[in-house]
């Protein structure tokens, strides 16, 4: 299915990946309806940073993914939905698991139910590599067992299985897209890359971090959103679960060294207990297998880790961007 001239609802459009996906869909000729989280400040999240001429091309609706009626109303007249709205902070899921069930599971159910009733042409549900937990074998393909090692990952497993059930039970044309660790401009300070960069740029001589032994498969956000679009064009992807990854891993300790060297910083590292996951909850290794997406689509990663990090550093060095981050506060 081509997206040019299609009306596309993007939930979570105000967030990190969602805002980049809005740009990618517009670039490819799609008509975007952006579902953003309602708030009393009338903020559209990262969409507020878009140039006015770009923002004018977007139909923005403010609501709550947990509101079944509003979700269905928002989907009226759309051809496709990219569902990204979710609570994603793993540490916060230890404190507020009910919120994650309501948002990630019930919110996804609302999207699936509305898409079924309105007979949408395509539905893409955003998963996460966290559903796999610590790798039982590598590289991790789509047949790897699921492990709910945090309340967050458990709710994403639940959402994925709901999506699967709507395909098998109701023939809903749904695809589960599963990005591995995504980074780039606009990522929240809860993530390690913006946390390291903003602490250094804010003048701190001490990096306050958590566990640095895990490895991750890091993917630049522009590559990730292009993968979303390419998957949406592939009819054979209906009913499938598809990893978005580059098949390379780096430890968090190595990542720190790369960023510190890039910024020519002189810092010491302080490991803080509050930033550590419970031992059985920590995902020690994530290394993805991207064979499926490479076979099914024309996508392949274009931006290396080093280039992506330099793009992210350059963006964060802009005062108007750095000022949005409370670099020295731990954001769970």
Please state the domain extents for the chain. 7-181+219-244, 192-216+250-284+303-322
CA-based torsion, 183, 25, 52, 311: positive or negative: positive
Question: What does CATH list as the number for 192-216+250-284+303-322?
Answer: 3.90.25.10
Instruction: Find the length of the chain.
Output: 332
- Measured in degrees and rounded to the nearest 5, phi and psi for residue 93 equal -65, -20
5 exposure class (CB count in 10 Å sphere: 0-12, 13-18, 19+): exposed
pLDDT band at 330 (very low <50, low <70, confident <90, very high): confident
**pLDDT tens-digit readout, 96-119:** 999 999 999 999 999 999 999 999
**What is the homologous superfamily of the domain 7-181+219-244 according to CATH?**
NAD(P)-binding Rossmann-like Domain (3.40.50.720)
- What 8-state DSSP symbol labels residue 15? S
Model confidence at 287: pLDDT above 90: yes
Alpha helices in the chain (DSSP H): 16-27, 52-55, 68-75, 90-95, 97-100, 107-118, 151-170, 192-201, 221-232, 252-262, 291-296, 305-316, 319-322
Q: How far apart are CA 93 and CA 31, in angstroms?
A: 34
What's the mean per-residue pLDDT of the chain? 97
Residue 307 to residue 179: CA distance in whole angstroms:
19
Q: Which residues face 175 on adjacent strands?
A: 124
Residue 77 neighbours by CB under 8 Å, 6+ apart: 7
Token pair 């060297």 is found at: 261
Region 78-95: mean pLDDT is 97
CA distance linking residue 143 with residue 132, whole number of Å? 10
pLDDT per residue as tens digits for the range 18-75: 999 999 999 999 999 999 999 999 999 999 999 999 999 999 999 999 999 999 999 9
Sign of CA dihedral 241, 246, 252, 255: negative
CA distance 128 to 32: 23
């Amino acid at each position: 299915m081509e997206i040019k001239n299609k009306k596309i609802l993007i939930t979570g459009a105000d967030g990190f990946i969602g805002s980049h996906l809005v740009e990618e869909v517009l670039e490819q000729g799609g008509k975007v309806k952006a579902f953003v989280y309602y708030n009393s400040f009338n903020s559209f999240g990262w969409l507020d940073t878009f140039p006015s001429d770009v923002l004018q091309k977007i139909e923005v609706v403010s609501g709550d993914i947990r509101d079944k009626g509003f979700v269905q109303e928002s989907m009226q007249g759309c051809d496709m939905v990219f569902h990204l709205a979710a609570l994603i902070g793993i540490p916060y899921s230890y404190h507020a698991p009910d919120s994650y069930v309501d948002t990630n599971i019930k919110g996804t159910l609302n999207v699936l139910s509305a898409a079924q009733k309105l007979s949408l042409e395509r539905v893409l549900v955003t998963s996460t590599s966290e559903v796999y937990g610590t790798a039982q074998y590598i590289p991790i393909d789509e047949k790897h067992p699921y492990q709910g090692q945090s309340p967050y990952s458990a709710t994403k497993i639940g959402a994925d299985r709901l999506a699967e059930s709507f395909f098998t039970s109701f023939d809903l044309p749904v695809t589960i897209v599963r990005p591995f660790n995504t980074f780039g401009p606009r990522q929240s300070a809860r993530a390690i890359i913006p946390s390291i960069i903003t602490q250094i740029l804010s003048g701190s001589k001490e990096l306050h971090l958590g566990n640095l032994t895990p490895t991750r498969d890091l993917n630049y956000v522009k590559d990730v959103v292009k993968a979303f679009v390419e998957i949406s064009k592939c009819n054979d992807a209906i009913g499938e679960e598809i990893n978005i990854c580059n098949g390379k891993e780096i430890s968090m300790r190595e990542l720190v060294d790369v960023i510190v060297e890039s910024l020519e910083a002189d810092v010491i590292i302080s490991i803080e207990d509050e930033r550590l996951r419970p031992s059985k909850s920590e995902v020690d290794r994530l290394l993805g297998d991207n064979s499926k997406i490479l076979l099914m689509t024309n996508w392949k990663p274009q931006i290396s880790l080093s280039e992506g990090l330099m793009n992210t550093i350059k963006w964060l060095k802009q005062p108007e961007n750095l000022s949005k981050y409370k670099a020295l506060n731990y954001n769970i």
